[in-house]
Structure 1
């Protein structure tokens, strides 16, 4: 073989092997709705652009299960995962195991909603960078409300009455599967979100106040949970006590609920070809409690780089790609993901294709955070104790007053000596 042919062969082999700098990255993500398909599509684009490859490590839908696995991996110093998709509430608990992104993202930080950046900053360290934010909606069957001459409810009391009226009339007309209202009632983080909304909308606070005071055991919180308890077996099926997001959406999307509380991701899915409610529903902010106002729990997902990653530079580049304005717009258009870049809420393409996104800017701005900041690393225990008390109340195992009194004692024991 001539020297020229040898050089050509080497060059060909190099091309087949890909760029010399190419690495394989792993990103871990939970899966609700089209999460994984959506992420895979953007990762395919990233791979073409960078020459790197990215494997998705898929997790269950439950954020509670995700957090438990994350903590196990990180406490073991696992280097197999480079990038973690993290819930907005996890920053204080996982900060020690993630790379500080403050310098790497300095040019992107000014474009973001300041409160979201602040939620991911722990002791001056930017633990994770926003991918999209979230705030739930009240989904309602516009066709059924129009049919019976009723309006979208502004209060939980109005929702209760409207749901019961339409449910009963539809069942009398032959639709025995119709339910008035479905939500997330299973004992997991999702119930913390739902119940925080009920309590906060009644003026009952946020479980633990921003200054760290435990405030959950109060008459307004009791009233909120007693009202919700009254929904079980009347406007909500008994099975709602085991519903998470997807179970709620399943009932809704088959046409068997008048109202649903869920996140914006359910909007484009509800308009899909296989949906029985396509073209028949609309959304409004969640109802207010008595003498209160609408309260939507702040959700959202971020990207964090593991300090145990062997490819931190490439992992940070992946985070930049997935949190860019282009990537946020794609997610908003495709899956109604709420942007963390304010300018995108008025983007003409988004306004036209995903009206829920355009409408939700003010809802996001006023969303109620869970008390992860004041309770720090103990938030997970706080939330578990709260959702347990709520689920027990909904199931009829004790009154709201009894269960919140017990919860108050548990949280005071947990706080002993201060939140850590």
Structure 2
């Protein structure tokens, strides 16, 4: 009798579990191994909880992805439950996301405090950190050794070393070889690269924490002028159309000495099929010169739950799982995605897989933020004006001083409408 009752109870529980099973949709990027790691993590959660997941692929271009999100959220669509959002978007999209604090059980205390502050809008934790980023400089260890060089301390040193290596490799028969590749297309990636150049020269952060426009200054002009001098000389003309993956493609194929990119490129560059496997070094991005500093733009992505989800509790549970210590450790080891949990930067397994995480811990913790918090909903317009001005300088359409003067005026117009 007891056995029959137990079996009946078990069957009842199974039916109840099945009845409550749901499909949770999550948007994932596809740069590097993002999509595959997102899928495997979400599927592990689904297996654990008895639910199913639907992976929604979104554009790699951050501008296109933001436009898609704004369209979905403005329509109060329930199509996506969990959104992967850029570190600069909480102020733009936060009103559409649920407060995750009731679901986290205090887990946010393990994460970098600055990112938690970034993800808190009007007192509500609208997103949990998934992985962080800062721009870094990749270099070919074998080629620096070949030419008797050391990793560059300044951008001018990088320029000189890139020129020397490029000349040597082309004389040796590789006419496709370039000194440096980076993200030069007119999009958010160029904002990240150019902010690094300018900040490293001591030229500020475009707009300061008090909302003052600071970008129109001689140090900023010097930084952009130097970068413009790379185009067609040590960087291909095509770099003006490069995003992250285009730059990685050139570097990983063995056709560049230096590359500015995010940490994700490390694991791919050291993959079994990579021509540059075991030939890559990574250091902090160079200083602008005397009085300058090493700087990397703060990047990274967060997970947020839509207020329009029909399964808020399950969606929040998926977010907590994917941003957990165990899952962040897995992603760090398999895909070199930077954890946002401080303790993982001292984890021996993580450091074995990605040694520079330990060397550059300070770079990741002190990365320079884009002015998204101070400009709020106006950030996208601010960034668009900035990257267009930089693009004009890189392409030779304008001198840096003229482009920054125009930019200053345009930003003043945006500020006039309030930020």
TM-score (norm 2): 0.96
Separation in 2, partners of 1:106, 1:247: 41
Residue matched to 1:273: 272
Mean Cα deviation higher: 405-414 or 95-104: 95-104
Cα distance, 1:129 vs structure 2: 0.6
Give RMSD over aligned pairs: 1.9
Q: How does 1:62-73 map to 2 (within 5 A)?
A: 62-73=61-72
Structure-2 separation of matches of 1:351 and 1:413: 47
Q: CA deviation at 1:39?
A: 0.7
SS class of match (2:48): helix
Change in CA separation of 1:167 and 1:343 when aligned onto 2, cut-off 3 Å: same
Q: Is the 2:283–2:360 Cα contact (8 Å) retained in structure 1?
A: no
- CA offsets per residue over residues 37-84 of structure 1, 9 Å max, x none? 011111111111001111011012111111110011001101111000
Q: Which residue of structure 2 lines up, in the alignment, with residue 181 of structure 1?
A: 180
Aligned to 1:378: 378
What displacement does 1:9 show?
12
1:5 aligns with none
Q: How many residues align?
A: 415
CA contact (8 A) 2:179 2:258 kept: yes
Verify: 1:247 aligned to 2:246, yes or no: yes
1:274-309 Cα offsets, whole Å, 9 max, x none, are: 211111111100000022001100001100000011
Contact 1:183–1:248 under 8 Å retained in 2: yes
1:166-213 per-residue CA deviation (whole Å, 9 max, x = no partner) reads 100110111111100000000000000000000000000011101100
Q: Does structure 2 conserve the Cα–Cα contact (< 8 Å) formed by 1:351 and 1:358?
A: yes
Q: Deviations over 1:229-262 (max 9, x none)?
A: 0000110000000000000000001000000000
- The structural deviation recorded for 1:15 is 5.8
- Report the equivalent of 1:327: 327
Aligned-pair CA distance for 1:356: 2.5
- Structure 1 residues 272-281 or 157-166, which shifts more? 272-281
Q: Is 1:339 aligned to residue 339 of structure 2?
A: yes
Unaligned runs of 5+ in 1: 1-7
How far the C-alpha of 1:14 sits from its partner, in A, is 9.1
- 1:91 equivalent in structure 2: 90
Taking the aligned partners of 1:412 and 1:341, their CA distance within structure 2 comes to 38
What does residue 316 of structure 2 align with?
316
CA distance in 1, matches of 2:27, 2:16: 26
Please give the secondary structure, in 1, of the residue aligned with 2:19. Answer: coil
Q: Tell me, what secondary structure is at the counterpart of 1:350?
A: helix
Distance 1:110 1:393 in 2: 43
Q: Which structure 2 residues correspond to residues 17-416 of structure 1 after superposition, within 5 A? A: 19-291=18-290, 292-416=292-416
**Take 1:107 and 1:121, find their aligned partners in 2: how far apart are those partners?**
14
| Distance in 2 of aligned mates of 1:240 and 1:106 | 45
Summarize deviations over 1:88-144 as a string: whole Å, max 9, x none: 000000011010112322410211111110011112111111011111210000100
Determine the C-alpha separation between the residues in 2 that align with 1:161 and 1:391. Answer: 23
Instruction: Assess if the C-alpha contact under 8 Å between 1:336 and 1:356 holds in 2.
Output: no
Structure 2 CA distance for aligned equivalents of residues 399 and 122 of structure 1? 39
TM-score (norm 1): 0.96
Given that 1:179 and 1:258 are in contact with CA atoms closer than 8 Å, whether structure 2 keeps it comes out as yes
Q: Counterpart of 2:20 in 1: which secondary structure? A: coil
Q: Which runs of 5+ in 2 are unaligned?
A: 1-6
SS of equivalent residue, structure 1 residue 373: helix
CA distance in 2, matches of 1:277, 1:11: 55
